[in-house]
Copies of this chain bind each other. A is one copy, B any other.
Amino acid sequence: MKIHTEYLWMNTHRRKELVHVTEQLQEILGRSGVTEGFMLVSAMHITSGVIVNDNEPGLHQDIMDWLEDLAPERPEYRHHMTGEDNGDAHLKRILVHHQAIIPITQGRLDLGPWERVFYAEFDGQRRKRVVVKVMGD
A residues with a Cβ closer than 8 A to B are: 1, 3, 5, 36-38, 40, 42-46, 51-54, 56, 58-59, 61-63, 66, 70-71, 77-82, 87, 90-91, 93-101, 103, 105, 110-115, 129, 131, 133, 135-137
Contact = CB atoms under 8 A, between A and B. Distances in A.
B82 A133 contact: no
Query: How many copies are assembled?
Result: 3
Given A62-B78, A63-B91, A133 B103 contact: yes
A98 B52 contact: yes
Contact of A54 (B42, B46, B131, B137): B46
Contacts of A52: 46, 98
Contact of A91 (B66, B80, B94, B103): B66
